[in-house]
Amino acid sequence: MEKYAIFQTGGKQYRAKVGDIIKVEKLKADGKVEFDQVMMVGDVVGNPTVAGAKVVCEILEQKRADKIIVFKKKRRHNYRRTKGHRQHITVVKIIDVIGG
């Protein structure tokens, strides 16, 4: 079984193993980035994080996610509102999982 990690960034947690491509909340960086808030590596569970563990990633691109439609309606009141939203995201490729 291949070693994987669960790390946190942007208030969300992601499961990653080497070679995965993941979409995370927008990061103000380019090139390589390291995530040190690692909750779990393989069988080692942190309390709350694993000491010395890191997930090393390479930033592939900065882009925006697909549009979601926000539609509000109140029946029998002729009230309808439509809005769209596109979240800024960063696409990263997992290079290495260190620790555990």
List the one residue out of 30, 85, 22, 94 whose CA is nearest residue 57. Answer: 94
Q: What is the pLDDT of residues 47-75, one digit of tens each?
A: 999 999 999 999 999 999 999 999 999 99
How far is CA 66 from each of CA 10, 52, 85, rounded to the nearest angstrom?
A: 18, 35, 8
Q: Using pLDDT thresholds of 50, 70 and 90, give the confidence band for residue 99.
A: confident
Examine the pLDDT at 100 and tell me if it is beyond 90: no
Give Dmax (Cα) for the chain: 59
Q: What is the pLDDT of residues 4-19, one digit of tens each?
A: 999 999 999 999 999 9
What confidence score (pLDDT) does residue 1 get?
A: 60
